[in-house]
Amino acid sequence: MNKADALKLCDELQEFVNRGPGANAEGLERVDTIVNSLRWHSQATTYLNEKARNVGYDFHIWFSPRKWKQYGNRGEFRSTVLGSIWKLKGAIETGFGPR
């Protein structure tokens, strides 16, 4: 995987935000696959690993039947998830090999 591939995975994560909130087992499975592929990639830095982990954590809340409600309304937590993805993209831009 190169930087462009990793950024495409982030784009896919952004698309998954529109499939929530609420229970989505298939979506969560794909998100976990993406997050783990980024976290455990040979070029992943500690910072990138942390940002990917945060995205996974946020999606586990987003795709739960009720947990996301504890963090405000739908729009507020949606912004949180998108913000986490944005930070992950930044970590990829600065910490991954060449495109």
Give the pLDDT confidence score for residue 95 in this predicted structure.
77
Give the pLDDT confidence score for residue 84 in this predicted structure.
98
Taking each helix axis from N to C end, the angle separating 25-39 and 46-62, rounded to the nearest 10 degrees, works out to 170
Q: How many domains does the chain have?
A: 1
Residue 67 DSSP label: G
Give the domain extent around 17.
3-95
Sign of the CA dihedral running 53, 55, 56, 58: positive
87, burial (CB in 10 Å: exposed 0-12, middle 13-18, buried 19+): middle
pLDDT beneath 50, residues of the chain: 99
* Rounded Cα gap, residues 33 and 88, in angstroms: 15
Give the pLDDT confidence score for residue 98 in this predicted structure.
55
The answer to whether the predicted template modeling score (pTM) of the entire model surpasses 0.85 is yes
* Rounded Cα gap, residues 22 and 65, in angstroms: 4
